[in-house]
Structure 1
């Protein structure tokens, strides 16, 4: 089946009424639908399909009121489409709301002692002084995009600073890949899991962020070098089937599609942006994961092989016990990979 048709099926499934399904219900305000609409925006930018743009505008109209009072990192994710909606439509309301949220993020969002954004969630649970890889995609991407539409250098500088802090704190120096989280009090990586989706969030998010911030501030060479080291490390853990195990250094653990799709998207986006050297091995790895992800898309557009929501677990073994089911972030990261693979040709 052509990639164009596969991408369309994924998108159409995301639009379906999945009320009551935590993983697939797009009509609420949190990181799960946030990743969904971010991916739809990528799909729109790759295809220029007006119905996708209109869906996003209507989604905001239906759901923005649900964000009231929610000032947490995971609740920032849906705002990442606001800068693009402002650019395309010229409607000041999108820009004004983006600026308001960005100002809160820079001035008031809780930070760890290393000045990383503390990972906060909409659920009634706190992860004090914890740094999670997820934050880069859920909040820093939004900040970088808002910097571009406003020209506010302080937003761009903070976005790039957060990327660097996260890369420094989460990197496994032995392999170059990232641990899921860092505890600033105990000064350790907690269960020290080299979780694939954590790496996927940053593999995908960093080239998107650098593309925005580079318009306003020079890209720190340490950020660029650390990103290359990350991607090189990831290639060493890619399985024969093209995916990564849910904990990538545990070859017997189940393969995980969403994180693998995020890594594949990151490879393609970074090659396009010049954040990776022009070497065939990156392209070969991206093609392998693309074909593997496509093989997990069912006839109805549901992406299979996606692990459920995952906080930093108490042990590495616990990651392999996370159930798999359909989710908007699995759909979304797969849609992003497909859209990026055919950008300009759909």
Structure 2
């Protein structure tokens, strides 16, 4: 890998941007007063859990309503905006689309530059928010969104890889593949390939998802470990296999969601589609096996439910419900998995969803964050001691998506 590749990329992209015409759309998507977005909505008005949680999230998130509020191009913002987009597709409420447009206008300037995005970081996390730009580009035909999409696609041309071609999770995490990265990059790249006829990108998506299973799957349980270090140099990596020590629920949740979302855009006749369906089936078998029989939920450390300190965790549970329900609904999985999803969803409502006196919803028991590094050793104690939050978007986003799949 050339030491100055990031600088060359920025220079090349700047020249390319100058050569591309940049027609302005010149107005909002519809006749809607965006000042209304700052007015709190009543979360008791919608009848379905998906929209009630979405309204609750919007009421708590001034950055989505107020263009003056600072924000970053982060994967959690992308997750919430994606959930909002799916709610809009179901309800056709123009106010929801106005939120999405405001985010796009705030984060992407007329030259296609993305606010706070640092391409030189070569972080897969930076790609997830890009999914919200496809619909904006389709509706507005504003070239700034196409330029931004092309820039994100260009990152993956420079993304450093393992010797077999697997994306490093970030430049600062050399030789490491994490399950989280499957969701951050693969659905975006698949939608880009489908939208702009980038046929080679489909091969790349399949390669990434197949390599993750190859390196991280435990043949005894069928579950996938959180991360893999090809160099075996990280303190958390097994010196023989390179894998991390434990199966983190949300890491597997990211991977499961990535698979069902990729299949939406993956060509029916592509030679690797059958392999992706087979991987999804193996994931579903393992996820179902480790579903808590009493609550229908899943544990923070998936395969150690009886161990002291372990707990039922909301974000992973929402992600698995979404993946199983969507897989069954789209016929990617056997329809019997819908029953497992429904049981899990019932457990989420019983254990994790709290209704406040004003009707606003809270989602409880969400692990804030977990990663792998020199000071994050991936031990059992590490995962169970990470902070637990209420209404973390890594939980509320998947809850909304799961609710939509179950028509709740």
Q: TM-score, length-normalised on structure 1? A: 0.88
What aligned pairs does 1:21-60 form with structure 2 within 5 A after superposition? 27-60=71-104
What aligned pairs does 1:267-306 form with structure 2 within 5 A after superposition? 267-278=324-335, 280=336, 282-295=337-350, 296-299=352-355, 300-306=360-366
Q: Which moved more, 1:54-63 or 1:293-302?
A: 293-302
CA distance in 2, matches of 1:53, 1:176: 40
The answer to whether the 8 Å contact 1:7/1:339 transfers is: yes
Q: Which moved more, 1:306-315 or 1:294-303?
A: 294-303
Q: In the comparison of the two structures, how many residue pairs are matched?
A: 332
Structure 2 match to 1:213:
266
CA distance in 1, matches of 2:361, 2:272: 38
Residue 246 (1) aligns with residue 300 (2): yes
Q: Which moved more, 1:229-238 or 1:26-35?
A: 26-35
Tell me the secondary structure at the aligned position of residue 133 of structure 2.
helix
Residue 179 (1) aligns with residue 229 (2): no
Q: For residues 28 and 286 of structure 1, do their structure 2 counterparts lie closer, same or farther at Cα, with a shift above 3 Å needed?
A: same
Structure 2 match to 1:324:
388
CA distance in 2, matches of 1:135, 1:334: 20
Structure 2 match to 1:120:
170
Q: Which runs of 5+ in 2 are unaligned?
A: 1-43, 64-68, 109-113, 233-239
User: For the pair shown, which has the larger CA radius of gyration, 1 or 2?
Assistant: 2
CA distance in 2, matches of 1:241, 1:2: 29
Tell me the secondary structure at the aligned position of residue 320 of structure 2.
helix
Q: Which moved more, 1:153-162 or 1:218-227?
A: 218-227
Q: TM-score, length-normalised on structure 2? A: 0.76
2:56 aligns with one of 4, 8, 13: 13
What aligned pairs does 1:106-255 form with structure 2 within 5 A after superposition? 107-120=157-170, 126-186=172-232, 188-214=241-267, 217-239=270-292, 240-252=294-306, 253-255=310-312
The answer to whether the 8 Å contact 2:79/2:394 transfers is: yes
CA distance in 1, matches of 2:270, 2:225: 28
CA distance in 1, matches of 2:46, 2:62: 28
CA distance in 2, matches of 1:26, 1:171: 40
The answer to whether the 8 Å contact 1:200/1:259 transfers is: yes
Greater relative contact order (CA < 8 Å, ≥ 6 in sequence):
1
The answer to whether the 8 Å contact 1:26/1:328 transfers is: no
The answer to whether the 8 Å contact 2:226/2:246 transfers is: yes
State the Cα deviation string for residues 70-129 of structure 1 (Å, max 9, x = none): 442111111111122223443333233212311321x101212231111128xxxx2211
Structure 2 match to 1:61:
105
Shift of 1:4: 4.0
Q: For residues 188 and 19 of structure 1, do their structure 2 counterparts lie closer, same or farther at Cα, with a shift above 3 Å needed?
A: farther
The answer to whether the 8 Å contact 2:225/2:243 transfers is: no
Structure 1 match to 2:323:
266
Q: What value does the CA root-mean-square deviation take over the aligned residues? A: 2.3
The answer to whether the 8 Å contact 2:179/2:226 transfers is: yes
State the Cα deviation string for residues 296-341 of structure 1 (Å, max 9, x = none): 2222222111001110341122111112103111110111101111
CA distance in 1, matches of 2:271, 2:227: 27
Q: Which runs of 5+ in 1 are unaligned?
A: none
CA distance in 2, matches of 1:114, 1:317: 32
State the Cα deviation string for residues 166-213 of structure 1 (Å, max 9, x = none): 122221111212111111112635432111101111111111102212
CA distance in 1, matches of 2:269, 2:145: 21
Tell me the secondary structure at the aligned position of residue 172 of structure 1.
coil
